[in-house]
Structure 1
Amino acid sequence: MSDIRQKTLEGLEVGDQFTLTRTFTETETMTFGEISRDHNPIHYDERFVRAKGLQGRICHGLLVGGMITEVGGQIGWLASGMNFRFRRPVYFGDTVTCVFTITEVDDKNRARAEAVLSNQHGDVVIEAWLTGVLPGPVERNILASLLAGD
């Protein structure tokens, strides 16, 4: 399925790093707004945006921050906590790169990670910190069978 899942099968350790890149669209933002019911005018109304002093309507922070769940989903990470610091807005059409790094793993597979999300200009837009549980041997065997198409 992915290099992330393949690395998971080999075993994850402190320092493992995964990078994803995604361009965010107006359509995705509108869909996320409907799903989340977040109808903040900062995402929908140019007058409100101008009053805030921004360059244009912006993507929902959690839509962009959700890039970390793509990594977590590939790993099979069972999340127990997520913290975000929203540093800069992400505008429609911005391309964001997420660098996800495992920072701690204990003997019970409990783990910590951090993620830094930057736009196409190299500006950090979100910093995130995560806790959770990595898959053990039984779960990795299941992931292997998923990769094999079983």
Structure 2
Amino acid sequence: MSHIRKKAAAGLKVGDSFTISRTFSEEDSLAFGEISRDHNPVHYDDRFADAKDLQGKICHGLLVGGMITEVGGQIGWLASGMNFRFRRPVYFGDTITCVFTLSELDDRNRAKAEAVLSNQHGEIVIEAWLTGVLPLPAEQEILASLLDQRS
């Protein structure tokens, strides 16, 4: 986590990329379902998942897509837009790797980024396109001070 924040405190540029991984459990999905109130049976019932021709119950797509917020939160990204393409289901126990890359940045720190999330088999499960605002110098100083507080 701190290496992402350190880079943000130092200043970000087009092409900067961050990679994180996470393994999703059924408990993660159950908790997300309670918070989001998404009780689609594809997340809870094997019979329903089987009827959908899935290999089992699947994680909530936005739970998995939410990996981008781990990176965004560390860099102080103020999101203005998110667009997801859900390409494959994520099953309980899958390990997902998210590669978040800054693709555009203007002189007012308005930015665009792309994220590609892949499973342990190298299959892309989600693609995301993001817009937002990156920290300005005063905010970068605060990020740096937050790092100092953790030391």
What TM-score do the two structures reach when normalised by structure 2?
Answer: 0.98
Identity of aligned residues (%): 76
* Aligned equivalents of 2:147, 2:121: Cα separation in 1: 35
| Structure 1: runs of 5+ lacking an equivalent | none
Aligned to 1:140, the other structure's residue is in SS state helix
* Count of paired positions: 150
Q: Where in structure 2 are the equivalents of 1:59-70 lying within 5 Å?
A: 59-70=59-70
* Aligned equivalents of 1:12, 1:143: Cα separation in 2: 13
Q: Where in structure 2 are the equivalents of 1:48-59 lying within 5 Å?
A: 48-59=48-59
* Aligned equivalents of 2:49, 2:10: Cα separation in 1: 47
| Matching residue of 1:5 | 5
Amino acid at match of 1:72: G
Q: Where in structure 2 are the equivalents of 1:9-24 lying within 5 Å?
A: 9-24=9-24
Deviation at 1:10, TM superposition (A): 1.2
Deviation at 1:89, TM superposition (A): 0.1
| Structure 2: runs of 5+ lacking an equivalent | none
| Matching residue of 1:118 | 118
1:84-109 Cα offsets, whole Å, 9 max, x none, are 00000000000000000000000000
* Aligned equivalents of 2:149, 2:50: Cα separation in 1: 50
Amino acid at match of 2:15: G
* Aligned equivalents of 1:3, 1:101: Cα separation in 2: 15
Deviation at 1:145, TM superposition (A): 1.0
1:101-133 Cα offsets, whole Å, 9 max, x none, are 000000000000000000000000000000000
Q: Where in structure 2 are the equivalents of 1:1-150 lying within 5 Å?
A: 2-149=2-149
Deviation at 1:143, TM superposition (A): 0.8
What TM-score do the two structures reach when normalised by structure 1?
Answer: 0.98
Give the ranges of 4+ consecutive aligned residues of structure 1 lying more than 6 Å apart after TM superposition: none
* Aligned equivalents of 1:85, 1:31: Cα separation in 2: 23
